[in-house]
């Protein structure tokens, strides 16, 4: 097994299910197929990009990547008409490629291309018969739209479990909010006579402004592929960033994260060999970091002030986002 391939597959992950199965993939990754599924429901933001970084890691080890543009799922989750959803999906496809996915190793698939076929629908009904209502509801709880559970929300995770088989995959990738769905796949798919696949889960980025909860375009503050250079700098400048890796909880006891450090760890250092921090000579002059750990250690010790780290973060994010932003502007023109 290639140690480098295994480390690349698993770096910056929150969980691997199972380690043994992923090690087997790392032993011969060439030509293996991994996927991530996204509801086309808005402009890509840095939460999406964290998963995209993992897809780039996979491609660099030899994997082929499948991006499921989940139009049927988005429809079931009340994200608009099929026409609106597919228009959003096309923008999403362009932005993923602009962000850095290799076009020759990336296949984009609409869910409606296979999820409405008779064989798929009959397998879905069989899964419905073997899965309890409570089990399906638990799987969907973290990703459903709105407060009121609908019948469509129960079908949704069963389709995700089945997609992994029908896309002929070797590995499923998603954020930790997809964990319950992937576990449902592993527990239930074998009742249909199919093999369960291993899964890799990436962390969930914290809200930029507060460090509490999930970075999401529907609530809180996030950075999207539409944001201008000035908007990115403004949002990063306002971001929560105490001089510690483990911030104190809120007054209500909610766990805070440091979103500035998270963005350095999961977005900047995977894509840049070094990070340059510009500082006046009176404050110690410029700094160069070639690892996340070195930067985080200096921030925690006070050798690096958040006010000096934030401009470097904003510049790096702007460089990553610029190609996608240009795609959006070109489409509008």
Whether residue 205 contacts residue 46, with contact meaning beta carbons closer than 8 Å, is answered with: yes
Q: Which two tokens stand for residue 242?
A: 């105490």
For 273-306, the pLDDT digits (tens) are: 999 999 999 988 999 999 999 999 999 998 999 9
Q: What is the pTM of this model?
A: 0.89
In terms of average pLDDT, the best of 89-103, 143-157, 295-309 is 295-309
The tokens 């997609």 sit on which residue? 163
Confidence of residue 1 (pLDDT cuts 50, 70, 90): very low
Quote the CA–CA distance of 23 and 9 in Å, as a whole number.
9
Q: Which two tokens stand for residue 45?
A: 């933001």
Q: Which of 53-57, 70-74, 321-325 has the lowest mean pLDDT?
A: 321-325
Q: Which two tokens stand for residue 306?
A: 């958040």
CATH 3.30.310.50 for domain 3-202: no
Between the alpha carbon of residue 198 and those of residues 37, 136, 173, 209, the distances in Å are 15, 20, 9, 34
Residues ≥6 apart with Cβ < 8 Å to 85: 40, 41, 71, 74, 75, 79
**pLDDT value of residue 333:** 63
- Alpha-carbon dihedral sign for residues 101, 103, 104, 105: positive
Query: Where along the chain do the CATH 1.10.240.10 domains lie?
Result: 229-332
Query: Where along the chain do the CATH 3.40.50.620 domains lie?
Result: 3-202
Whether residue 62 contacts residue 29, with contact meaning beta carbons closer than 8 Å, is answered with: yes
Quote the CA–CA distance of 248 and 72 in Å, as a whole number.
41
Confidence of residue 240 (pLDDT cuts 50, 70, 90): very high
Name the helix (H) or strand (E) containing 151: helix 151-166
Whether residue 33 contacts residue 82, with contact meaning beta carbons closer than 8 Å, is answered with: no
Assign domain 229-332 to its CATH superfamily: Tyrosyl-Transfer RNA Synthetase (1.10.240.10)
Quote the CA–CA distance of 70 and 76 in Å, as a whole number.
10
Between the alpha carbon of residue 96 and those of residues 67, 102, 109, 236, 317, the distances in Å are 9, 9, 13, 22, 15
For residue 178, how far is the Cα from the chain centroid?
10
For 102-125, the pLDDT digits (tens) are: 999 999 999 999 999 999 999 999
Residue 294 in 3-state DSSP?
helix
Q: Which of 102-116, 220-234, 242-256 has the lowest mean pLDDT?
A: 242-256
Quote the CA–CA distance of 9 and 26 in Å, as a whole number.
7
Quote the CA–CA distance of 62 and 227 in Å, as a whole number.
32
Q: For 206, phi and psi rounded to 5 degrees?
A: -80, 155
Question: How buried is 218 (Cβ within 10 angstroms: 0-12 exposed, 13-18 middle, 19+ buried)?
Answer: exposed
For 154-211, the pLDDT digits (tens) are: 999 999 999 999 999 999 999 998 999 999 999 999 999 999 999 999 999 988 988 8
Whether residue 137 contacts residue 149, with contact meaning beta carbons closer than 8 Å, is answered with: yes
Closest CA to 309 of 242, 257, 249: 242
Q: In the chain, what percentage of residues exceed pLDDT 90? A: 67
């Amino acid at each position: 097994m290639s140690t480098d391939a295994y480390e690349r597959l698993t770096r910056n992950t929150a969980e691997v299910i199972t380690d043994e199965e992923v090690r087997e993939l790392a032993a011969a990754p060439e030509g293996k197929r991994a996927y991530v599924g996204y509801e086309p429901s808005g402009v890509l933001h840095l939460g999406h990009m964290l998963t995209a970084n993992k897809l780039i890691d996979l491609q660099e080890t030899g994997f082929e990547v499948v991006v499921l543009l989940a139009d049927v799922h988005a429809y079931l989750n009340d994200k608009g008409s099929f026409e609106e959803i597919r228009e959003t999906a096309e923008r999403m496809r362009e932005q993923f490629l602009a962000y850095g996915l290799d076009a020759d190793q990336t296949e984009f698939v609409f869910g409606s291309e296979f999820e409405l076929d008779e064989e798929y629908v009959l397998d879905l009904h069989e899964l419905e018969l073997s899965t309890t209502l409570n089990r399906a509801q638990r799987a969907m709880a973290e990703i459903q739209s709105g407060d009121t559970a609908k019948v469509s929300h129960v079908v949704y995770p069963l389709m995700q479990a089945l997609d992994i088989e029908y896309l002929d995959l070797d590995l499923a990738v998603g954020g930790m909010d997809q964990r319950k769905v992937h576990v449902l796949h592993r527990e239930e798919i074998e009742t249909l006579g199919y093999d369960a696949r291993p899964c890799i889960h990436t962390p969930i980025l914290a809200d930029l402004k507060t460090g509490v909860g999930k970075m999401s375009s529907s609530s809180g503050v996030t950075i999207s592929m539409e944001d201008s250079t000035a908007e990115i700098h403004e949002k990063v400048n306002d971001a929560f960033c105490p001089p510690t890796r483990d911030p104190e909880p809120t007054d209500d006891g909610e766990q805070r994260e440091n979103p500035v450090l998270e963005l350095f760890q999961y977005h900047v250092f995977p894509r840049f060999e070094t990070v340059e921090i510009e500082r006046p000579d009176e404050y110690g002059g410029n700094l160069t970091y070639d690892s996340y750990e070195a930067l985080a250690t200096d921030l925690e010790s006070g050798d690096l002030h958040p006010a000096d780290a934030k401009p470097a973060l904003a510049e790096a994010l702007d460089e990553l986002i610029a190609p996608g932003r240009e795609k959006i502007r070109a489409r509008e023109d």
